[in-house]
Amino acid sequence: MKRMSVAMAKSRRHAGPLRILVLLALMVNGFLTGAQAETKLTVKGNLQQMSCDVELVTPASIAMGVFLSRDFQDNNGTAAISNITVKVHNCENVDPKKGSVGLQVSGSTLKDKPYIFNDNSAGDAGFMLRENDVAQGPHNQVLVWNGPLDTFFAIDEAVKDGDVTFGNDDLDPTVQEGVLLNYGIGFVAASPDTLPTASTTPVTASLTFTFNYR
């Protein structure tokens, strides 16, 4: 038997404008006596930092429990499901009408399986992340994954490393109290047909959630 945990990392915005200073030197050749030989023009342009605070509402470490290999096999590859809620708030200079917003997820995955997160790429089990729902309201509002174990393993619905989750239709960062983005996370085998090997080393995955605005 092995003890499983998921460690989460959060991303914070970096405040302050980015500034670009461009200097243009315009050379003028004069043929008239006393003409000025050169002139200088300074052009300034500002690039503003456009971001939001990203904060975990659920604990930064989740213990999924202890399972046997047959627990995965009995439920189509999933032994357990937990929940992750991330709050997006304190947005600056973000307008979903002028750009694309979302929350990017990144982390190490199993080899050739970018939809199963595991700090050890050579493992035979890991964690599958799926979008759940969006909530606007109190900081402690968390939505629970309601689906059964045997339907959670779905490659087409899984969040892959580098995916930007929840688009403009779901995430409105202009809401004053912030937006809660909910995910279901399942402890899964490499495939529904795989029996993970028992080990004394816990299976872990570290996920980073980053606000994305383009």
Q: Which pLDDT does position 108 carry in this prediction?
A: 94
Residue 3 binned pLDDT confidence (cut-offs 50, 70, 90): very low
Structure tokens at 105: 């997820």
Instruction: Work out the average pLDDT over 131-147.
Output: 73
In this prediction, what percent of the chain has a pLDDT beyond 90?
A: 45
N-terminal to C-terminal alpha carbon distance within the chain: 45
User: In this model, does residue 160 exceed pLDDT 70?
Assistant: yes
DSSP structural state of residue 71: H
Question: How many whole angstroms separate alpha carbon 150 and alpha carbon 79?
Answer: 9
Query: Token pair for residue 208?
Result: 């980073």
- 31-86: pLDDT as tens digits: 445 567 887 776 766 555 567 889 998 889 999 999 999 999 999 999 999 999 99
CB 116 within 8 Å of CB 6: no
Q: What is the largest CA-CA distance in the chain?
A: 95
State what percent of residues in the chain have pLDDT above 70. 73
pLDDT of residue 49: 53
Burial class of residue 51 (count of CB atoms within 10 Å of its CB; 0-12, 13-18, 19+): buried
Tell me how crowded residue 44 is: count the other CB atoms within 10 A of its CB.
9
What is residue 155's predicted lDDT score, i.e. its pLDDT?
Answer: 97
Query: pLDDT value at position 179?
Result: 84
Q: Measure the CA–CA gap between 104 and 98, rounded to whole angstroms.
A: 19
- For the record, the structure tokens of 40 come out as 């200088």
pLDDT at position 136, please?
A: 60
